Amino acid sequence: MAAGKASYFEMTYVGPWKGTDVSMPETMIDPASTPYAENWIPRSGELRTRPQRRVFLPGLPDNSIITGQCPFADANNVVHSCVTSTSGLWQLNSQWRNYPGKTWSNVGFYLRNDIPAPNTPVQFQVFVNSLFYVDGSTNLWFWNGVTPNSISSQPALQSVAQYDTTNLLNAGGYFLGELNSYIIILNTVEQVQPVAGPTLPKYPSNFPQRLRWSAPGLPFTWDPTVNTGAGYIDELDVPDTITGFMAIGSNGFIFRVNGISELTSISGGVLPWDINHLWASQRGIGSVYPWSIANYGPIGIFIATDDVYELSLGGFKKIGGRSRNAIFHDIGMAVSAPTASIFPAWSATYPYVTYMLEIVLAGGIVHDWLYFVEDDCWMLWPYSNGYFTGKVMLMPTI
């Protein structure tokens, strides 16, 4: 130090920690923020090295790629921890701890024409003690946890959205939801025929602007000629395609690349919905990345072109905040569509609502951006040589 008078100083860093801040030069950020950090988690005003990640359950016996997971309670109040893969639907065996190698049992295999793409995360909906899901094929898959049994000859796994019962045509799609007892499929994939006839060839066709719903309370009835409560509508008055669906309270939100349409149930009749495009202009806040949408309870989070947004009963809120530029830099460098999950806890003893956004970069590098809802801060957890193939979720194991 140069000769002369010197004064003592202390610089203190203390929580609540505010996460990554790239919004200003490193000398101008808040002392509780970091210009760069890897693998830390804020915890009750502490800054901890993140929880250890380890293998908990083995893969499926046929080593098919897992595409999603969802638990549900059946009519007997028995809980099934279900997993979908590129080969079919599986469930966790109750005695998996006692019988290594017998962790999973198959519920149903897909036929050759129904095998989904491995990079399409499955969208689930639990409705009346049954599991429904779509995987980008022409099927709305259904299992009630009870079939097969001694009095039912039906297969366990059924494709239930037959929208044309005369020509036996099924519908599926990429997104799924439930609102006011209607099961709704969005961005549909439907069997179509150049020449109609129940035995004539069928081809899958994608309708990215289409919204199709079952009759109210009747998730197996999709043919409008059988029950006028079922139907479909094409959102042809908007410039883009459907990228997700979220239900908060009695309202549904249909996400598009350039906007959001609010879906309100108005009747049980032929046209049960009032669809209101939220923005006055042709282009507005929408969800650019289909699998970035995640919701838990009254909170939904998605990525638009300009920021990360939290959608709740109180409206929209930008949450990218001081980390936004770093997150969007990674999104801009991604080699596949980012995927996201919200989970309410890390375990039963560690409740902490967290949004986890996974971005796969070139060279096998993965950047997980975690948004800790209570602390309103983002942290980066990078790793390599792998990626998530479905939503992160708390799953019953006993």
Rg of the chain in Å (alpha carbons): 23
Write down the least CB distance from residue 86 to another protein, Å: 9
Q: Kindly indicate which of the ranges 50-58, 178-186, 220-228, 257-265 contains the residues binding another protein, using the contact rule CB under 8 A.
A: 50-58
Residue 336 has a CB neighbour count (10 Å cut-off) of 12
Q: Which of 294, 297, 285, 288 is nearest to 357 (CA)?
A: 294
96-125 residues in contact with another protein (CB under 8 A) are 105, 107
d(CA 302, CA 300): 7
Instruction: Restricting to residues 56-75, name those near another protein by CB under 8 A.
Output: 56-60, 63-69, 71, 73-75
User: Residues 309 to 368: which contact another protein by CB under 8 A?
Assistant: 343, 345-350, 364
- Which residues within the stretch 147-186 sit at the binding site for another protein (CB under 8 A)? 147-152, 156
Rounded to a whole number of angstroms, the minimum distance from the CB of residue 354 to another protein is 10
91 binds another protein per the rule CB under 8 A: yes
Beta strands in 63-155 (DSSP E): 66-73, 79-85, 88-92, 104-109, 123-127, 130-134, 140-143
Query: Least Å distance between CB 325 and another protein?
Result: 17
**HSE-up (13 A, CA, CB side) for residue 24:** 8
148/198 with CB nearer another protein: 148
* The one among 16, 23, 38, 279 contacting another protein by CB under 8 A: 38
Closest CA to 188 of 170, 167, 166: 170
Strands 273-277, 259-265: pairing kind: antiparallel
Q: What would the two tokens of residue 360 be?
A: 């796969």
Using CB under 8 A, pick the residue from 296, 316, 328, 387 that binds another protein: 387
Q: Quick one: which segment of 144-152, 236-244, 260-268, 271-279 binds another protein (CB under 8 A)? A: 144-152
- Three-state SS sequence of 158-205: EECCEEECCCCEEEEEEEEEEECCEEEEEEEEEEECCCCCCCCCCEEE
Among 43, 240, 251, 312, binds another protein (CB under 8 A): 43
Which residue from 76, 98, 153, 199 is in contact with another protein, where contact means CB under 8 A?
Answer: 76
Q: Which of residues 269-308 bind another protein (CB under 8 A)?
A: none
131-139, 142-150, 223-231, 329-337 -> range binding another protein (CB under 8 A): 142-150
